[in-house]
Chains A and B, each alone.
Chain A
Amino acid sequence: MLDPTPNGLHSGEPPLLQTRGLTKRYGDFVANDSIDIEIRPGEIHALLGENGAGKSTLVKAIYGLIQPSAGEISWQGRPIVLSGPSDARRRGIGMVFQHFSLFDNLTVAENVALGLDGSESFKDMSARLAQVSKTYGLPLDPKREVWQLSVGERQRIEIVRALMQDPKFLILDEPTAVLTPQEADQLSIVLERLKAEGRAILYISHKLDEVKRLCDTATILRAGKKVATRNPRLETAASLARMMVGSEIKEVRAAAGRQTTVPRLVVNDLSLAPAEAHGVRLEHVSFELKGGEILGIAGVAGNGQDELFAALSGERLSKDPGAVVIEGIAAGHLSITGRRKLGAAFVPEERLGHGTAPRMKLSENALLTGHAASRMVRHGFIDTAATLKTVDTATETFDVRKAKRDPEAASLSGGNLQKFIVGREILRNPAVLVVSQPTWGVDAGAAAVIRQALLDLATEGAAVLVTSQDLDELVEITDRIAVMFHGRLSVPLPTRETTREKLGLLMGGSSLEPKEAVHASGA
């Protein structure tokens, strides 16, 4: 299984980069256990694995960010020791980070300059930046500061910065996790082009269909070890997932004969001015969500989804109490706690900083959303045993993997923290659950657990509202889908009757009739 060239995948071409027995230990924990990987010029090589399988550790070692504890890295046939990322860049290894390595308060040009070695003047660099971004069809305004840019634009900076070093080998750590389908398609075109230019690409992704479409080779890691190297085109998404997880991933399944009951969440002509200068104005948003039903909200990020979440959760109040009705009670004027007491629960998009306080323990985080409506406070004092019990129950029910019983929220991996947050809310038996991007950056196993939990919650009679940029996810679990565009919400359509094309058109803003939306909800 550890044969470096299995299945006769490669011709006799020598590898560009090769690791042999690469091992990285953090104390007792082995993040990478004797990994062999070979990357050849002109190939897109996928690196697959669940969160915590050791993908990031491996690429950090290849990029010189961490020193391996054992094993060797060869570059163009010769063993090398990288003194740091700048050493890697000098040799022709570039990297695009998962969590962008950008500086929010610096301009695009300054951000790019920081990723280069500084051997050319700022003016020459700016000129070359304009040229590279034009050549690859990645438009950028060099004078803008990063905080003003969308996620897609930010990633363009990262990619252009890496390309400006003219790398022979480019590492991309989950590049499409935060992109819209259109942006992801655009990225594929760029990658195909880089491949045609003879560059090698190491591509980390959770999206198996994308890997099958784009990649020539796939190396699969599990728990720090290499499991296999395969040609992804000859595998199925299911077989790849099986190798990643080590067992069959349960297919998400809705219970048959789910009954919809009374409307539990009703939004009536909700309009809201943006809170920030760059925010989106919500305009006449209306929908009705019954118990036992899952409504999906699709749309390109930044079209008012965040604003809608804030208006529903009570982070922002509406002037008209009747704009948001929870369980038949006008709640538009109620605070978050007031709405929770009516039986609503909320899972925001940002796990760290919004969904949890990163430096607080899980039990404390459980208390933060559960203090009003769950029994964790007695006579004004915290019932520590009850908060710990919530953590234990969530851990058990949703398979949250963590190092100790009650660690800090920030120490959990993304998928496990998300399972905890969703679990924490579901354990409160909410009548209404509003969840935003439930499986953003979460591995396949955890995503399946979360999606199943949402379906089960609806089966038990709760109303579930899911906002997601992942159309596949929405198609998989929702009963109806509406699209958000420029602060307006389209008429929800039964999921069975929609197509990707139809939704794509709505996401682009065409054939949207807001008047109809108002009528539809009034009916």
Chain B
Amino acid sequence: MELVEAIILSVLAASTPLLIAATGELLTERSGVLNLGVEGMMIMGAACGFAGAWLSGSILVGALCGMVAGTLMSLIFALMALGLAVNQVATGLALTILGVGLSGLIGAGFVGERITPAAHLDIPGLTDIPFIGNVLFGQDAFVYLSLALIVGVWWFLYRTRPGLILRACGDNHLSAHALGYPVLRIRTLAVMFGGACAGLAGAYLPLAYTPFFIPGMTAGRGWIALALVVFSSWRPGRLVVGAYLFGAVTILQLHAQGWGVGIPSQFMSALPYLATIIVLVLLSRARTGGSTAPAALGTVFVPDR
């Protein structure tokens, strides 16, 4: 029982950064912009988040620093890909390369430092309930925030008028423009939201997951977040399934390797990717016809005026 609880707790911790980053990217892509720079924005969030927390002694300040760093990175992307209508794929890749390099420089002075990680919720009575208490009421703020974020994004996209307008921009920017919607402004805001989320997801790593910073500590999580958005067919509900599934299989295969299951470790390491792809592909098969991806995704828009 304790082992199961420990596994669930580590699954939550492993899935949260993926979920936060993927939520931001989902909203960005729904507006029709493909920002491949998630990894770069995340690692900048990690470096600046740790620096902020170490210098101020506050996890909150650290988290905000991470979000600001991610947002600033996303603004570079917005300037290039939206303002100057540069190819989005190339810009996103460049942003990742920039982020990895710059974060190493910013974080160099902090390598080896430690901070007190983010506090976990502790409600006397509730948190003490055996098994479920710790899982439901004993998490750090990031975990609850990530869930609130994805519910909020779902609600925004499907229940509000600005959300409808954002989806419209992602489906057909020419039509949206013809109806008088400021496509580039809406997309810039969506890109900034994606940047803030990626920065927060990155900051989660040194602030809550491991209480120190090492260069390149995002270790490809940004790419996984991107893949999750695609495989979830841009649906918030499926994104949660995908993120937790990926986290769960990651942790389980680690344990399985520890128990000495007679399967090559390379195959075990590949399991999370395989499992996530298979499940999300099966989920997306349910829809017939129409386009699952935002139809205008990754296309350049220049308004005529």
Q: Which residues of A contact B (CB under 8 A)?
A: 64-67, 84-87, 89, 97, 99-106, 110, 113-115, 118, 122, 145, 147-148, 276-278
B170-209 vs A: 1/0 string, CB under 8 Å? 0110111011110000000000000000000000000000
User: B168 contacts the other chain (Cβ, under 8 Å)?
Assistant: yes
| A102 and B172 in contact, given A85-B179, A113-B161 (Cβ under 8 angstroms) | yes
| A64 and B180 in contact, given A110-B164, A114-B165 (Cβ under 8 angstroms) | yes
User: B305 contacts the other chain (Cβ, under 8 Å)?
Assistant: yes
Q: Which of A86, A97, A114, A278 contacts B164 (CB 8 A)?
A: A114
| A105 and B180 in contact, given A66-B305, A113-B161, A114-B164 (Cβ under 8 angstroms) | no
B295:A115 contact, CB within 8 angstroms: no
A148:B180 contact, CB within 8 angstroms: no
Assembled-state Cα–Cα distance A473/B178 (Å): 32
A114:B179 contact, CB within 8 angstroms: yes
Assembled-state Cα–Cα distance A106/B161 (Å): 13
Residues of chain A contacted by B171 (CB below 8 angstroms)? 103-106
Residues of chain B contacted by A104 (CB below 8 angstroms)? 171-172, 290-291, 295
A277:B288 contact, CB within 8 angstroms: yes
Give the size range of B's interface with the partner: 20 to 34
User: B304 contacts the other chain (Cβ, under 8 Å)?
Assistant: yes
Q: Which of B168, B289, B290 contacts A114 (CB 8 A)?
A: B168
B178:A101 contact, CB within 8 angstroms: yes
B179:A101 contact, CB within 8 angstroms: yes
B290:A105 contact, CB within 8 angstroms: yes
B179:A148 contact, CB within 8 angstroms: no
Contacts across chains A and B counted by CB atoms under 8 Å: 68
| Chain B residue at smallest Cβ distance from A67 | B305
Assembled-state Cα–Cα distance A41/B275 (Å): 65
User: B167 contacts the other chain (Cβ, under 8 Å)?
Assistant: yes
User: Nearest 8 CB-CB pairs, A to B?
Assistant: A85-B180, A101-B175, A101-B178, A103-B171, A86-B180, A84-B180, A118-B161, A147-B290
22 sampled A-B residue pairs with Cβ under 8 A = A64-B180, A65-B180, A67-B305, A86-B179, A86-B180, A87-B180, A89-B180, A97-B178, A100-B175, A103-B172, A104-B290, A105-B290, A105-B291, A110-B168, A113-B161, A114-B168, A114-B176, A115-B179, A122-B161, A145-B290, A148-B289, A278-B289
A66:B304 contact, CB within 8 angstroms: yes
Q: Which of B168, B180, B288, B289 contacts A103 (CB 8 A)?
A: B168
| Chain B residue at smallest Cβ distance from A95 | B178
Assembled-state Cα–Cα distance A73/B110 (Å): 63
Assembled-state Cα–Cα distance A67/B304 (Å): 10
Min CB gap A100→B, angstroms: 7
| Chain B residue at smallest Cβ distance from A114 | B168
With most chain B CB atoms within 10 A of its CB, the pick from A87, A105, A113 is: A105
Residues of chain B contacted by A114 (CB below 8 angstroms)? 164-165, 168, 176, 179, 181
